[in-house]
């Protein structure tokens, strides 16, 4: 069972913010309104199998320069199963998410310049410019190419492209977060990566064999001012010893899967010494938004790699990624998670509050914050486990629902204590999934269960719980 301390510890690691200093307070040429990232997955319906793959895509939207910058890298663990060396792969910008593309055998509809080709019909998924126009004006669509390179027993392909088009967050019914990048070989698509608004990557556990280095906390953030911050705290290293830490364009290799040799991203490196207990603290930044190549963080001491931590997208279920769907037949979005949420998960604060007359007017099930405060909702036709719309709302003496302002000096009631958000001004008339907070808020245990490795496998290898498992915890960035 996950206790409240475990959940809060996980949240503190994930949602920590990189420090803004005097050196990183001035906008750079990479200042932006949105960074979107995603991980490659197989399109299972296409039937291709190039072995274990790993990699990431990125889109940076900048209204200041009126550009949209794409970058991508894809790694194949087995060069023999991967596309041949020097093979040209094509990466295209598609209008739909990977799950939709995977459900349709036809080639995906590509995103078109909304200013030159207006009139996209979302209902019929048809573009404003026909194939003849595109043939004469290929710049209205994004099609990038890369050549497969071999590194040892592995291979990879990478590239980037600056489109002189500012992609709006919304264009009719087209949401930029409903888009994806699709990679193909000889016109046959085999993998896809969703583009979701996310600025942060989270280090996973140490993947370096025969070393004891352990992650205490860490975060890589690509901020709106155009900087990339890397902060990590690592324990169990040799005391009072100099270490070099750097971001690498290659994933960590393991006994099971080997990837290309590490390629150092020189703008994200630091040299520091451990303290007397063997703890290392790294804080460094780049004055640019580093491309999608930030795959891992490597720790080196005396020319030996003593730690390797894959940088993972902070995965939230519900966006349709790879793996096998495990949804209860009852379509109850909360069924899978009930065992992980105990009566003390929200802390002991309610027990103290129960002595007040005000709290007695609101009859909580079981007399304490527990799993019954969550309900299964249908979101986009899928079951989601969400906080009840009555959560944190009290009833006054007349039976009217009123917002809970908490005790004097507190910012909000029990929801704010559970999630650390200020809901002081939530109106009693606002309903929905935890009214007053952007996005959907659901079980924090999902954080612990879904900061996970994203190495994609063909669908015949079951992955169990995945991002489509009905649990969502998402804070959407404002759209501009």
Give me the CATH code for the 200-314 domain, please.
2.60.40
Does residue 455 contact residue 54 with C-beta atoms inside 8 Å? yes
233, 237, 238, 242 alpha-carbon torsion, rounded to 10°: -40
pLDDT at 98: 95
pLDDT at 61: 94
Q: Rg (Cα) of the chain, in Å, rounded? A: 24
pLDDT at 207: 86
Where are the chain's structural domains?
Answer: 33-197, 200-314, 315-480
Query: What is the rounded distance in angstroms from the CA atom of residue 103 to the CA atom of residue 121?
Result: 19
Query: What is the rounded distance in angstroms from the CA atom of residue 21 to the CA atom of residue 125?
Result: 46
Query: What is the rounded distance in angstroms from the CA atom of residue 57 to the CA atom of residue 78?
Result: 20
Q: How many CB atoms lie within 10 A of CB 452?
A: 17
Query: What is the rounded distance in angstroms from the CA atom of residue 100 to the CA atom of residue 119?
Result: 21
Question: How does DSSP assign 416-435, residue by residue?
Answer: HHHH----TT--TT--SSST
pLDDT at 238: 94
pLDDT mean for each 10 residues of the chain (480 residues) = 35 46 76 91 92 95 91 96 96 95 92 93 90 95 96 95 93 90 95 95 85 89 92 94 96 88 94 95 94 95 93 59 36 67 45 38 38 66 64 53 40 40 34 34 37 43 39 39
Same fold, 33-197 and 200-314: yes
Q: What's the fold here for domain 33-197?
A: Immunoglobulin-like (2.60.40)
Residue 216: helix, strand or coil by DSSP?
strand
pLDDT at 337: 67
């Amino acid at each position: 069972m996950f206790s409240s301390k475990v959940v809060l510890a996980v949240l503190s690691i994930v949602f920590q913010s990189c420090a803004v200093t005097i050196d990183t307070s001035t906008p750079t040429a990479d200042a932006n309104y949105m960074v979107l990232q995603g991980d490659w997955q197989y399109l299972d319906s296409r039937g291709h199998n190039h072995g274990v793959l790993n990699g990431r895509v990125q889109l940076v939207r900048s209204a200041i320069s009126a550009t949209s910058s794409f970058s991508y890298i894809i790694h194949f663990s087995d060069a023999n199963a991967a596309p041949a060396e020097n093979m040209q792969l094509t990466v295209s910008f598609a209008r739909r998410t990977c799950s939709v593309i995977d459900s349709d055998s036809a080639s995906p509809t590509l995103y078109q310049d909304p200013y030159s080709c207006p009139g996209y019909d979302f209902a019929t998924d048809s573009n404003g410019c026909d194939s003849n126009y595109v043939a004469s004006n290929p710049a209205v669509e994004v099609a990038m190419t890369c050549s497969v390179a071999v590194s040892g027993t592995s291979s990879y392909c990478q590239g980037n492209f600056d489109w002189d088009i500012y992609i709006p967050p919304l264009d009719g019914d087209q949401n930029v977060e409903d888009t994806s990048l699709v990679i193909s070989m000889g016109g046959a698509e085999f993998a896809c990566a969703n583009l979701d608004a996310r600025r942060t990557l989270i280090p996973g556990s140490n993947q370096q064999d025969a070393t004891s280095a352990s992650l205490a906390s860490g975060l890589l953030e690509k901020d709106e001012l155009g900087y990339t911050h890397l902060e990590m705290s690592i324990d169990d290293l040799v005391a009072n010893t100099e270490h070099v830490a750097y971001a690498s364009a290659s994933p960590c290799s393991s006994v099971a899967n080997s990837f290309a040799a590490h390629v150092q991203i020189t703008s994200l490196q630091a040299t520091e010494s451990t303290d007397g207990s063997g703890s290392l603290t790294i804080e460094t930044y780049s004055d640019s938004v580093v491309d999608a190549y930030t795959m891992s963080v490597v720790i080196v001491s005396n020319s030996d790699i003593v730690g390797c931590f894959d940088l993972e997208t902070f995965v939230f279920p519900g966006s349709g990624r790879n793996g096998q769907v495990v949804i209860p037949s009852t379509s109850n979005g909360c069924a899978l998670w009930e065992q992980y949420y105990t009566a003390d998960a929200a802390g002991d604060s309610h027990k103290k509050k129960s002595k007040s007359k005000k709290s007695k007017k609101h009859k909580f099930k079981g007399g304490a914050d527990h799993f019954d405060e969550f309900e299964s909702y249908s979101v986009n036709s899928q079951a989601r486990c969400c906080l009840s719309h009555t959560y944190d709302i009290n009833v006054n003496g007349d039976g009217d629902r009123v917002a809970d302002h908490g005790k004097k000096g507190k910012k909000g009631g029990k929801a704010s204590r559970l999630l650390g958000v200020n809901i002081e001004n939530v109106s009693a008339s606002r309903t929905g999934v935890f009214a007053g907070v952007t996005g959907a808020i659901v079980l924090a245990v999902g954080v612990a269960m879904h900061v996970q490795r994203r190495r994609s496998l063909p669908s015949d290898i079951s992955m169990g719980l995945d991002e489509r498992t009905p649990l969502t915890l998402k804070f959407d960035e404002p759209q501009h």
